[in-house]
Amino acid sequence: MKQLIIAFLLVIPFLNLNAQERETHYSSWNTIDINKKLNEKWSVNTEFNFRRTNFLTDWEQFIIRPFVHYTFENDLDIAVGYSYIRNYNYSEFSTPIDAVENNIFQQLTIKHKFSRFSFDHRLRFEERFQQNIVETEANSYSIDGVKYRNRFRYKFQITVPLKTFTTNRKLSLVVYDEAHLDFGNGLRPEKLDQNWMFLGLSFRASEHIKVRTGYHDIYAKRGDLFINNQVWETTLTYKI
């Protein structure tokens, strides 16, 4: 119950957004996650994120994100990683020109089970180095150096087993909410940058392959505008 209350509190600021000015667009996010276990404690993985929009005609983002993990127990995992993020200009409310972000992050994941459910808490702190976009003249932009910002992300996920076919073939329901807090260039939160909500299915096809697919609803605040990105997201996880 405590976890459900926390998740509800995270999304309260977004309950009245229908009354605000907003833009809605639709995207397809597809991720390949390759995982290699080195031993009982250490593992590495790399995500490749392919994010398209405008009926798949335009790039929205491309991300490469390698991690290194250390597992204390089955329910406690720490990780450090790096993200290369390329943001594309695809609309009037996106970045005005293509720009790159490089960030490093530290992450803690806590897992526990309650009855048939399993709960995941993921806490991630990001140090972000973003190309600084400046307007040189009317409707003309260029890159002028790099700006630094911090961001904290909290993700609360519930997984509900639906059907077990064999030991390595299972179907589950997945629900999560993730809040992004913008810290500016300091260590104190300044605003709620965006909120992600996901509802979908996860199918473990074998010991090595898992597929998760579902609806991902995102709200992001950019100045006085709220951007609602409605996403169909699919992730393929492959364990070597």
Question: In this predicted model, what pLDDT tens digit does every residue of 39-91 receive, in sequence order?
Answer: 999 999 999 999 999 989 999 999 999 999 999 977 899 999 999 999 999 99
Under 8 Å between Cβ of 205 and 194: no
pLDDT score for 207: 92
Percentage of the chain with pLDDT > 90?
A: 80
Any residues with CB less than 8 A from the CB of 9 and at least 6 apart, and which?
A: none
Q: Is the pLDDT of residue 9 over 70?
A: no
pLDDT score for 167: 84
Dihedral of alpha carbons 176, 102, 150, 227, sign? negative
Under 8 Å between Cβ of 197 and 177: yes
Under 8 Å between Cβ of 70 and 79: yes
Sorted by where each starts, the structural domains of the chain and their CATH numbers stand as: 2-239 (2.40.160)
pLDDT score for 5: 42
Coil/strand/helix, residue 171: strand
pLDDT digit string (tens) for 163-183?
Answer: 999 888 999 999 999 999 999
Under 8 Å between Cβ of 80 and 104: yes
Q: Output the CA angle 221-226-228, nearest 5 degrees.
A: 105
Q: Torsion angle, CA of 96/97/103/105, rounded to 10 degrees?
A: 40
The two three-digit tokens of residue 27, written as one number: 């995207």
- CA 43 to chain CA centroid, nearest Å: 20
Query: Can you say whether residue 115 is alpha, beta or left, with left for phi > 0 and alpha for psi between -120 and 50 degrees?
Result: left
Under 8 Å between Cβ of 120 and 112: no
Q: Is the pLDDT of residue 12 over 70?
A: no
pLDDT score for 182: 96
The two three-digit tokens of residue 51, written as one number: 């994010």
Q: Is the pLDDT of residue 119 over 70?
A: yes
Q: Is the pLDDT of residue 232 over 50?
A: yes
Q: Is the pLDDT of residue 19 over 70?
A: no
